[in-house]
Structure 1
Amino acid sequence: MENIFSIQTEQEFLAAALETFRYQYENVEVYRRFVDYLNIDPEKVDRLANIPFLPIEMFKNHQILDKNSEAGLFFQSSGTTKMNLSKHFIADENKYEESIYWSFEQFIGKPEDFIFLGLLPSYLERQNSSLIYMVDYLMKKSGRPENGYFLYNHEDLFNLLSTLGDKKVILFGVSFALLDFIDYCGSRQSSGSLNASENLVVIETGGMKGRKEEMTKDELLKILQEGFKTDKIYSEYSMTELLSQAYSLGNNEYECPNWMKIMIRNAEDPFNYEKEGRTGAINIIDLANIHSCSFIATQDLGKAVGDKFQVLGRIDHSDIRGCSLLVS
Structure 2
Amino acid sequence: MPHRNPLLESVFKIDSETDFNRIALSVFNYQYNHVAVYRKFCNALGRSTPKHYKEIPFLPISFFKTHTVLSDEFSSDQLLNFKSSGTTQSIRSNHFLALPELYVNSFMDTFSKQMVDPKDAIVMALLPNYIEQGESSLVYMVDHLVKVSNHPLSGFYLSDLEALIQEIQKAKQTKKKIILFGVSYALLDLAEKGIDLSQVVIIETGGMKGRRKEMIKEELHQILCDGLNVKHIYSEYGMTELLSQGYTDGTEYFTSPNWMKVVIRDVNDPLSLRPDGKTGGVNVIDLANLFSCSFIATDDLGVRKGNRFKILGRFDQSDIRGCNLLVN
User: TM (normalized to structure 2)?
Assistant: 0.90
Partner-residue secondary structure (3-state), 2:12: helix
- Structure 1 distance, partners of 2:87, 2:197, is 35
Partner-residue secondary structure (3-state), 1:3: helix
- Structure 2 distance, partners of 1:95, 1:147, is 24
1:139-218 matched pairs, under 5 angstroms: 139-164=146-171, 165=173, 166-183=175-192, 185-186=193-194, 194-196=195-197, 198=199, 200-218=200-218
Q: Which residue pairs with 1:251 in the alignment?
A: 251
240-249 vs 201-210, greater mean Cα deviation: 201-210
1:62-101 matched pairs, under 5 angstroms: 62-71=67-76, 72-101=79-108
Indicate whether 1:221 and 2:226 are aligned. Answer: no
Amino acid paired to 2:147: K
**8 Å Cα contact 1:107-1:247 kept in structure 2:** yes
How far 1:4 moved relative to its partner? Answer: 1.3
How far 1:269 moved relative to its partner? Answer: 0.8
- Structure 2 distance, partners of 1:209, 1:125, is 12
Partner-residue secondary structure (3-state), 1:291: coil
Aligned-pair identity (%) = 47
103-112 vs 170-179, greater mean Cα deviation: 103-112
Indicate whether 1:136 and 2:136 are aligned. Answer: no
Q: Which residue pairs with 2:233 in the alignment?
A: 233
Against the structure 1 CA distance between its residues 132 and 209, is the aligned structure 2 distance closer, same or farther, given a 3 Å change threshold?
closer
How far 1:307 moved relative to its partner? Answer: 3.1
Q: Which residue pairs with 1:125 in the alignment?
A: 132
Aligned length: 308
- Structure 2 distance, partners of 1:232, 1:286, is 27
Against the structure 1 CA distance between its residues 168 and 41, is the aligned structure 2 distance closer, same or farther, given a 3 Å change threshold?
closer
Amino acid paired to 1:205: T
**8 Å Cα contact 1:162-1:196 kept in structure 2:** no
Structure 2: runs of 5 or more not aligned: 1-6, 320-328
- Structure 2 distance, partners of 1:288, 1:240, is 13
Give CA deviations for 1:104-148 in whole Å, capped at 9, x if unaligned.
012012111111100001111111111100101111111111111
- Structure 2 distance, partners of 1:63, 1:211, is 30
How far 1:306 moved relative to its partner? Answer: 4.0
Partner-residue secondary structure (3-state), 2:180: strand
Q: Which residue pairs with 2:28 in the alignment?
A: 21
**8 Å Cα contact 1:175-1:206 kept in structure 2:** yes
Q: Which residue pairs with 2:121 in the alignment?
A: 114
- Structure 2 distance, partners of 1:159, 1:104, is 26
- Structure 1 distance, partners of 2:32, 2:213, is 43
1:267-278 matched pairs, under 5 angstroms: 267-278=267-278
Amino acid paired to 1:40: R
Partner-residue secondary structure (3-state), 1:239: coil
**8 Å Cα contact 2:184-2:207 kept in structure 1:** yes
Q: Which residue pairs with 2:295 in the alignment?
A: 295
Amino acid paired to 1:67: D
Q: Which residue pairs with 1:266 in the alignment?
A: 266
How far 1:209 moved relative to its partner? Answer: 4.5
Against the structure 1 CA distance between its residues 196 and 303, is the aligned structure 2 distance closer, same or farther, given a 3 Å change threshold?
closer
Give CA deviations for 1:141-164 in whole Å, capped at 9, x if unaligned.
111111111122111111111222
Amino acid paired to 2:185: F
- Structure 1 distance, partners of 2:169, 2:115, is 22
- Structure 1 distance, partners of 2:259, 2:102, is 12
Which among 58, 77, 82 is matched to residue 53 of structure 1?
58
Give CA deviations for 1:261-308 in whole Å, capped at 9, x if unaligned.
000000111121112222100000000000000000111111113431
**8 Å Cα contact 2:143-2:155 kept in structure 1:** no
Partner-residue secondary structure (3-state), 1:68: coil
**8 Å Cα contact 1:49-1:271 kept in structure 2:** no
- Structure 2 distance, partners of 1:231, 1:5, is 33
How far 1:87 moved relative to its partner? Answer: 0.5
Amino acid paired to 1:177: A
User: TM (normalized to structure 1)?
Assistant: 0.90
- CA-atom RMSD in angstroms: 1.6
**8 Å Cα contact 1:281-1:298 kept in structure 2:** yes
Against the structure 1 CA distance between its residues 316 and 271, is the aligned structure 2 distance closer, same or farther, given a 3 Å change threshold?
same
Amino acid paired to 1:35: C
- Structure 1 distance, partners of 2:259, 2:317, is 31
